[in-house]
Structure 1
């Protein structure tokens, strides 16, 4: 019997790195990140990576129980030595 498909809205973190590349991560899924020269390219790439990561057993378990309201994003300001 095949796996059921579900349409999910997943959170993404996007950051432009020091080389000018866009780095995209889906924090809900383990090991789910990629990059691209443009934001559009990075977002296209993360779609492919999400599909691959969703095939891993650990991530399938997470996705079965995932509900968008269970995710929140917070930032803090911290003084650090650099």
Structure 2
């Protein structure tokens, strides 16, 4: 899956970025490389869901997907 991010230069130095497709998903970094590492981690955190918060019955299946193909 590819996500677009919007990268901004921070007034105090470094960068910050937001992920428009995921409300509230933002991060920052002193360098561009650090920003990319941090925003990837932020996306993982924003998309992670604790199954304890979701009702799952005996007939339901829980699965994971790595990428979406067209």
Fold match (TM-score > 0.5): yes
In structure 2, how many angstroms separate the alpha carbons of the residues matched to 1:53 and 1:46?
Answer: 10
| Separation in structure 2 between the aligned mates of residue 44 and residue 28 of structure 1, nearest angstrom | 18
Distance in 1, matches of 2:48 and 2:20, equals 16
Structure 2's unaligned 5+ residue stretches are 50-67
Query: Aligned-pair RMSD on alpha carbons?
Result: 1.8
- 2:35 corresponds in structure 1 to 42
Q: Please state which structure has a larger fraction of its residues in helix.
A: 1
Q: Deviations over 1:25-59 (max 9, x none)?
A: 11100110000000000010000000010125xxx
> Which residue does the alignment assign to 1:19?
12
**Aligned partners of 2:37, 2:2: CA distance in 1, in Å?**
15
> Which structure would you say has the larger Rg?
2
Q: Structure 1 stretches (4+) deviating beyond 6 angstroms?
A: none
Q: Normalised by the size of structure 1, how large is the TM-score?
A: 0.57
Aligned length: 51
